[in-house]
Amino acid sequence: MATTTKEMTTGAPLPLIFNFTIPLLLGNILQQTYSLIDAAIVGKFLGINDLAAIGASTSVVFLILGFCNGCCCGFGIPVAQKFGAREYETMRRYVSVSLQLATLMSVVIAILTCIYCADILRSMRTPDTIFQGAYYYLLVTFIGVPCTFFYNLLSSIIRALGDSKTPFWFLLFSTILNIVLDLFCILVLGWGVLGAGIATVVSQGISALLCYFYMYRHFPILKGTADDRKFRMPLAKNLLYIGVPMGLQFSITAIGSIMLQSANNALGTACVAAFTAAMRIKMFFICAFESLGIAMATYTGQNYGAGKPERIWQGIKASTLMMMVYAVCTFTILMFTSDKISLLFVDASETEILRDTVLFLHVSCYFFPILGLLCILRYTIQGAGYTNLAMLSGVSEMIARTLVSIYAVPVFGFLAVCYGDPVAWVAADLFLVPAFIYVYRRLKRRKGASSLLSA
């Protein structure tokens, strides 16, 4: 039975965005649930040092995989725009070229990152007590870059067609397989943090392969001729023009995170463990903002292609309302239960780590509305194809985190680490608000010019 696509160019924006966001949110919750379980297994069964080993490489993983994921999201934007404009032949050609680019880019990235893996960890001042574990975990993650790249690209293409449910089911399968392999590799085979990395790569590779065959079998709109599958340089250039800035935006943001994590690493293993636990919990709660942003990228891309900028502004208002409701609920939960949630990762006897974890979460949740607005505006701007502006917002984040790392952490210690992300979110919003106003005015002028030409 063929899977249906869905246009988001007509109908009330709020229910459209909400219904599209829910599968994305469930998928992100699955990913973060696995991340929590993975950290809990490592922290409880392998110890604080192994938990810190994974945490010490978190920002580096985000640097590389964030670039890959950003490129994949960017490659999906022309697909969404052509789908919204109902130019299905060009859309299919974009899909084929994006898969060819993904093959080349993922292999090159995997090779380069594997070669420089140890040097990256040394540059981050990773403590000697956790260096070996962090190296093995990072090396396996880099080897699996092609699996991650293709999995995210295929999911992005499917979402561009208005279907956010199918990627969720593949993610559900991947998460369950990941947890099973995690337990098997760590508890049965005794491979430690190396086993955690292997479990993730294998589960994503299998899911990517299944997703590819399913997509072409169940989405008739993607089935084309041999001519549609040819490599086309103009389309490749446009994909790279949109995708690479999105990838760089993630990576530039991650550079600031690496600076912050490097400064935190210098504070000792206890601070690294607290940072790792707090980040896992925080990422679990903020995945709704990311999901809402991804929904806005698809919504904006389709309405941009359809020439309906007024619907983009309606979508901004609807998504902001949903974001604020969620931010208030999340604030309430974290302010009263952070200490209990933290016990999932460390024993109650580790009082210093628990105290720092709770402090990090309390500071972060005050700034969640700022983060929510950041995700909505950034992805909306990306969906309209202005990925260079979104990349510059990442530069704002990087500068803010770098300044906190260099000047605040040495003076205020872990308290400054807690404020690293919130300061970066504020800096990004100070750029994104006027950037969105600029983009929206351009879209309205473009529509006015098109109306005059057609009159």
How distant, in Å, are the alpha carbons of 33, 102, 212, 295 from that of 8? 30, 27, 24, 10
Which pLDDT does position 6 carry in this prediction?
66
Which residues, in sequence order, are CB contacts of 296 under 8 Å at separation 6+?
Answer: 17, 315, 316, 319, 375, 376, 379, 380, 383
CA distance from start to end of the chain: 43
Amino acid letter, residue 447: K
Confidence of residue 53 (pLDDT cuts 50, 70, 90): low
State pLDDT tens for residues 98-107: 888 988 888 9
Q: What is the percent of the chain where pLDDT is above 70?
A: 88
State pLDDT tens for residues 124-183: 666 666 677 777 778 888 888 888 888 888 888 888 777 777 878 888 888 788 778 877
What does residue 65 show for φ and ψ, rounded to 5 degrees?
-70, -30
Distance of CA 340 to the CA centre of its chain: 27
Structure-block tokens of residue 336 = 């009263």
Amino acid letter, residue 147: C
- The structural domains of the chain, with segments of one domain joined by +, span 13-447
Overall average pLDDT of the 105-127 stretch? 80
Alpha-carbon span 158 to 17, nearest angstrom: 16
3-7, 114-118, 251-255, 272-276: which range is least confident on average?
3-7
Overall average pLDDT of the 59-65 stretch? 73
